[in-house]
Every structure is written in structure tokens, then in C-alpha cells.
Amino acid sequence: MHVLVIGGAGYIGSHVVKALLDANLEVTVYDNLSTGLKINFFDKARYLVGDILDVSALNEAMSKNVDAVIHLAAKKAVGESMTNPEKYALNNIAGAINVLNAMSQNNVRMLVFSSSAAVYGEPQYLPVDEEHPLNPVSFYGFTKYDMERYFQWYDRLKGLKFVSLRYFNAVGYDETGAVRGLEQNSQNLLPIVMETLTGKRDKLKVFGNDYDTRDGTCIRDYIHVTDLGAAHVAALRYLQQGGESRALNLGTETGISVLEMIKKTEELTGRKVNYEFAPRRPGDPAVITASARKAREILGWEPTHSSPENIILSTWRVYNS
Ligand code: UD1
């Protein structure tokens, strides 16, 4: 199977590429290197530098006997999506429509999409399963939600088969050291914890310590990118075997609070995290954890890399080198 991985030089994308190569699939990466990094390139993959807003370059990439597409290229800073929705509309929606249309034009019928827990919004019950109402509270979440609707229509009208993988909080680094690129200006918790440890940042702000949780800080379901990579391979196999289009949660089904993440990091690295409590960040739910029962049943997928020790130490190894 020849897979076109759009956004395959980024943080999650490069872990997905590694999983595909390890499964002996043929991989072409299409990436504009806006956040993707050359340091994340693998010798066994082919690389095309291009933008999803460049329709002719995208069509050209898609015309080379591509069997399936994995689409990960998107902007992902939730806060920024609320102040600059235009950027998110253009990249995450218009860009993804370009991908869909290029697939359609070149008769590529299998798509694995990088979706998000952000499609659910404020949880009405826990753990969140795929039947939970979709009510995104951020524009970022809306872009993922909106694209899932497009896929359903393209399935109905054009025979596109898709698996939309709704990641919970993606964390960790490849344990063999094959991915070394650090995200620039990441707004996510663990990269910020690491940058505080290495002195790149002065202080971590903990957004809210008055939530109704065991220690007052928010609880999230952190899933290792190596486990995410394995799910993409399984989703491709599922589609290849004629599986129906669907959305699947990817999470561990357990939660870690912000303070627990800090304490565990201190324990494992032997260093102090300089942090202070700050006001709540708008739009943050107190707790969100996944039900991943469907991914287990349908893909035979099980997270095996996502222990707190492993997510922290695999990340620390890269930040501390
Ligand atoms: C959100 C989305 C997730 C999406 C991701 C992309 C939801 C529920 N989740 O994750 O689906 O893929 O963004 O970026 O919408 N925190 C601090 N201080 C910081 C940074 C974070 O205290 O400097 C806290 C946050 O308040 C939160 C936790 O750490 O409780 C994790 O935050 P973050 O890493 O930004 O991810 P989410 O917002 O949970």
C-alpha cells in the first residue's frame, strides 16, 4: 500500500510515518514545513514540500498511485483558533477540502483523518464515547467537527471511506530516538513543562486550581504518539479490508491532573518544575477522558506506551539531549 501522509513531518505525523515504515508500507510525505521539520525525515520515506492550499501541487502528489491518504496537516492551537479563526478556516477547512477534492479527482478512496477530542466540547458524561453529542467550544474543535461532516457526504456521494481518529491529548516521543524534532511555540502542557525544566521558559502557569477535581487542576487523557501511530496502521488495514467509515476515540481511558503531571515529572527527572497557579483558561473542561472501547473492538488497538512514566521519560530524553 502506498500512503500519502499529509503533514508527515510534524510532531504526530513523523511518529505516524515511523509506524507505517515499520509496517513496511510505502510512504510519501507531503508537508509545507511550516511546523514540520527536516530533522523528522526518514530515509525510507519520500518527501514532497508542498502546501495543502496549493491545489495543483496536491493533485500532482495524489496522482502517483496513491492508495490511501493520512491527513494530519492542520493548525492546532485552541486559543489562537478563537482569536484568528480565519487562519483555521483556511488551513483546517479549506485545506482539508482541497485534500478531499484531490482524492476524489485521483480516485483515492481511503482516508485516515487526524481529528480531536475537541469535537465533543464540554463533556456531558465520562468517559466520552463516540455517541457523545458533538458540541465543540473552540473554533479549532469546530474545524475537526466540520471536516467529519464533509467526509460523511463524500462517502455518500463519492464512495470515500474514512476513519476519523479523535485523539485525546497526544504526548511522548518515539522511544528509540527516531523522532527528535521539538515543537516550536507549543501551547500544550508537557512541552511547556519540559521547556520550564530546560530553562527555555521561566515558569509554567497552571491554568486553574479551583476545579472540582481531586487536586483542583484539570484532568486529561494523555495518549502516547507511538500508540497513535499504531492506530493509523490499524485504521488503514481496516479500510483495506472494506471497513465502513467511522470515527474512533484514541485515549487511555484514564486521567492525569496537571499537578500530577508536574509531580511525576519532578519525581522522574529529579528536577523541580517552576510553576505558579494562574486563572482558568477559557474553554477548558475540568475533566475529559476517553472511552476507547470501539477502537479496541474495531481496530484491535490497545495503548501500550502511554504510562505516565513512559510519556514523561520519552519526552524528557528528547528535550534533555
Ligand atoms: C486541546 C484539545 C485536544 C487538542 C489539543 C491540541 C480539548 C478538550 N482538548 O487539549 O483535543 O488536540 O488541544 O492542542 O479541547 N495547561 C496548563 N498550563 C499550560 C498549558 C496547559 O495548566 O501552560 C493545562 C490545561 O489547562 C489543560 C491541560 O494542561 O488542563 C492540557 O492542556 P493542553 O496540553 O493545552 O491540551 P488540551 O487543551 O487539553
Distance, in Å, from the CA atom of 22 to the CA atom of 5, rounded to the nearest integer, reads 15
Distance, in Å, from the CA atom of 129 to the CA atom of 220, rounded to the nearest integer, reads 15
How remote is the CA of residue 168 from the centroid of ligand 1, in Å? 10
User: Cα separations (Å) of 28 from 16, 43, 288, 291?
Assistant: 12, 11, 34, 32
Report the CATH fold assignment for 2-171+222-250: Rossmann fold (3.40.50)
Pocket test for ligand 1, best of 189, 264, 274 (most atoms within 8 A of CB): 189
Distance, in Å, from the CA atom of 216 to the CA atom of 100, rounded to the nearest integer, reads 43
Q: Which atom of ligand 1 is nearest to the CA of 138?
A: 15
The whole-model pTM stands at: 0.97
How remote is the CA of residue 158 from the centroid of ligand 1, in Å? 35
The active-site residue, picked from 140, 167, 211, 222, is 140
Instruction: Using pLDDT thresholds of 50, 70 and 90, give the confidence band for residue 52.
Output: very high
Predicted confidence at residue 70, as pLDDT, reads 99
Contact yes or no for 303/249 (Cβ under 8 A): no
Q: Whose CA is nearest to atom 8 of ligand 1?
A: 118
pLDDT tens per residue, range 233-286: 999 999 999 999 999 999 999 999 999 999 999 999 999 999 999 999 988 999
* Domain residue ranges of the chain, discontinuous segments joined by +: 2-171+222-250, 189-220+253-290+301-319
What is the residue-averaged pLDDT of the chain?
A: 97
pLDDT tens per residue, range 152-198: 999 999 999 999 999 999 999 999 999 999 999 999 999 999 999 99
Pocket test for ligand 1, best of 273, 281, 311 (most atoms within 8 A of CB): 281
pLDDT tens per residue, range 214-237: 999 999 999 999 999 999 999 999
Pocket test for ligand 1, best of 284, 287, 288, 311 (most atoms within 8 A of CB): 284
Instruction: Using pLDDT thresholds of 50, 70 and 90, give the confidence band for residue 309.
Output: very high
- Domain at 189-220+253-290+301-319: CATH code: 3.90.25.10
How remote is the CA of residue 232 from the centroid of ligand 1, in Å? 22
Output the ligand 1 site: residues, CB below 6 A. 76, 78, 116-118, 141, 167, 169, 187-189, 192, 204-207, 218, 220, 258, 281, 284-285, 288
How remote is the CA of residue 127 from the centroid of ligand 1, in Å? 17
pLDDT mean over 292-300: 98
Q: Which atom of ligand 1 is nearest to the CA of 261?
A: 29
Q: Chain centroid to CA 210: how far?
A: 28
Q: What are phi and psi of 39, to 5 degrees?
A: -65, -20
How remote is the CA of residue 199 from the centroid of ligand 1, in Å? 21
| Residue that is written with C-alpha cell 485534500 in the block | 99
- Kindly report whether the peptide bond that precedes residue 191 is cis, defined as omega within 30 degrees of 0: no
Residue 30: active-site member: no
CA triplet 161, 163, 164: central angle to 5 degrees? 130
